[in-house]
Amino acid sequence: MRVAQALSSKQTDEFAKPGRLVEVRFVKGQSLSLTASRLLALMILTAGGDAWRDVPHRMRKADIRRGHKGNERISDMLEELHRTLFAEDDRSWRGRKATRRFSLIQMSKEEVEDEDGAESGWIEWEFTPDARKLIQESETYAVLNRQAVLGFRSSYALKLYEIGALRIHRRQPTWRCDITALRAALGIAPDVYKDFAQLRRKVLQTAKSEIDQLAHFRVEWKETRQGRAVAEVEFRFEAKDAPAQIGTVDELDRHSAGRRARREGTVEQLLIETPDTIAPVGKAKGGTTPGAVARAATDDEPSGERAAEVSSIVKQLAGRMNASDAGPRPKFASFPSGSLRWLGGEEFLAVGRSHGGGWDIDMIAEAYRGHMGDRLAKLSGTKLQKSWQGFCESYVTRKGRPT
């Protein structure tokens, strides 16, 4: 709960869910729908470090609805949370092994008269004593991302994401279970996916594809067989490297429309015919660049020889740009020595803007030149492009994003 309080004070998308609440299993034949699972996650997020206290918690309906205009589904979700039972291993009054069954929500109120419009509606709820005790006594926690939780389209993927987030930072980030425990943990009804091949295709593979796209880790699993039947499954959760995590953050910031197509690689690309070369720019005689011309033109009003010199430079540059023997400049032929915003650095500027995380592109370029040294002169073409892009991504990883 101290961790939950600390995360809440930072006002970020991250929140803590108690480990025992993650590991609690559904009673056989019961499970939460995706929308109800999301609502429960939002309740944990909203309650924060006070989730274990015997006090009511409140949340705006607008924070639940997201893009939907109506509130009709909120009542269904609350009722589903009330009637769903969870189970946990316990001891009886005689000290024998027992199964304890309980619900998580004991009371909820939903405003039905929104005098100021739908945006002003609120809900109020209280956790059951069993739920509060479970939350208070939990010694482990999973750090979840609100955008990721709301981005999942499979309730099984969301549940496996929570299990992975609970284990990712352990010395052995694995979870091993038999098929019965797997079905209970994910809430898979006993009458569906009876064949493991179906369960693998419809549940595990779907969950993996979503987790690999939206979570800060990846998931793999290994099946152990007894004869021809799968007896156990061992899941392994592996943290993503820095470039992959940046890609995940970018994906979470994008609209959910088209997310599945991007995941499956079936996005239709808009192709615009562009040459692999840049229109010739060239330097004026004596190595004068357009930047030099710009600086000269912005100096004090030229007069006499100074004015004649500026006029000559402009004419030479214009003549060079229009010369019949000035061939096109290959893209990424060499890294510019000056500002990437000058003519001749367009392709490098575009890469910096896409992968530089909002930092000043010329500042990254200066750091890149210092990092590469003499090696920079040996790179060109695709190798130079990938080297520059990789440095921009690593720069953001080291520095974070500018505030």
24, pLDDT greater than 70:
yes
Asked if 141 and 5 touch (Cβ cutoff 8 Å), the reply is no
Asked if 335 and 369 touch (Cβ cutoff 8 Å), the reply is yes
C-alpha 339/C-alpha 259 separation (Å) is 36
128, pLDDT greater than 70:
yes
202, pLDDT greater than 70:
yes
Q: Which tokens belong to 190?
A: 């006993």
229-252 average pLDDT score: 89
Residue 292 pLDDT grade (very low, low, confident, very high; cuts 50, 70, 90):
very low
C-alpha 320/C-alpha 220 separation (Å) is 59
Rg of the chain's alpha carbons, rounded to an integer? 29
Q: What DSSP state is assigned to residue 226?
A: E
Q: Which tokens belong to 86?
A: 């969870």
With H, G, I as helix, E, B as strand and everything else as coil, classify residue 152: coil
pLDDT at residue number 273: 46
Q: Which tokens belong to 77?
A: 């979700």
pTM: 0.64
pLDDT at residue number 204: 94
How many other C-beta atoms lie within 10 A of the C-beta of residue 194? Answer: 10
Domains of the chain: 1-149 (no CATH), 152-271 (1.10.10.10), 280-330 (no CATH), 331-403 (no CATH)
Give the residue from 369, 315, 318, 316 showing the smallest Cα distance to 340: 369
216, pLDDT greater than 80:
yes
pLDDT at residue number 245: 83
Asked if 17 and 48 touch (Cβ cutoff 8 Å), the reply is no
- Give the chain's length: 403
Q: What DSSP state is assigned to residue 284?
A: B
φ, ψ of residue 264 in degrees (nearest 5): -90, 0
For residues 78 and 6, which has the higher predicted lDDT (pLDDT)? 78
The letter for the amino acid at 13 is D
The letter for the amino acid at 85 is L
pLDDT in tens, 364-390: 998 888 888 888 888 888 888 888 988
pLDDT in tens, 317-364: 555 444 444 456 688 888 888 888 777 788 898 898 888 888 888 889
The four Cα atoms 45, 49, 52, 57 give a dihedral, to 10 degrees, of -50
% of the chain at pLDDT higher than 90? 29
What value does the mean pLDDT of the chain take?
A: 81
Asked if 62 and 33 touch (Cβ cutoff 8 Å), the reply is no
Least confident of 62-71, 100-109, 145-154: 62-71
CA separation (Å) from 332 to 109, 204, 342, 351, 387? 62, 43, 14, 11, 11
Asked if 90 and 134 touch (Cβ cutoff 8 Å), the reply is no
Query: 20-34, 254-268, 286-300, 320-334: which has the highest mean pLDDT?
Result: 20-34
Write the DSSP string, 251-275: HHHS-STTHHHHHHT-PPP------
The letter for the amino acid at 169 is H
pLDDT in tens, 50-99: 888 899 999 988 888 765 555 668 889 999 999 999 988 889 999 999 99
211-228 average pLDDT score: 93
Query: To 5 degrees, how large is the angle CA 137–CA 139–CA 144?
Result: 110
C-alpha 83/C-alpha 63 separation (Å) is 23
How far does the chain reach from its first CA to its final CA, in angstroms? 28
For residues 314 and 212, which has the higher predicted lDDT (pLDDT)? 212
Q: Which tokens belong to 391?
A: 């440095």
Residue 308 pLDDT grade (very low, low, confident, very high; cuts 50, 70, 90):
low
120, pLDDT greater than 70:
no
C-alpha 230/C-alpha 246 separation (Å) is 36
Q: What DSSP state is assigned to residue 203?
A: I
pLDDT at residue number 206: 93
pLDDT at residue number 323: 42
Residues near 130 by Cβ (< 8 Å), separated by ≥ 6? 100, 102, 103, 104
φ, ψ of residue 219 in degrees (nearest 5): -130, 140
Asked if 263 and 213 touch (Cβ cutoff 8 Å), the reply is yes
Q: What DSSP state is assigned to residue 72?
A: H
Least confident of 9-18, 282-291, 318-327, 357-366: 282-291
Asked if 204 and 139 touch (Cβ cutoff 8 Å), the reply is no
C-alpha 272/C-alpha 253 separation (Å) is 25
pLDDT at residue number 283: 43
227-248 average pLDDT score: 89
Least confident of 174-183, 292-301, 365-374: 292-301
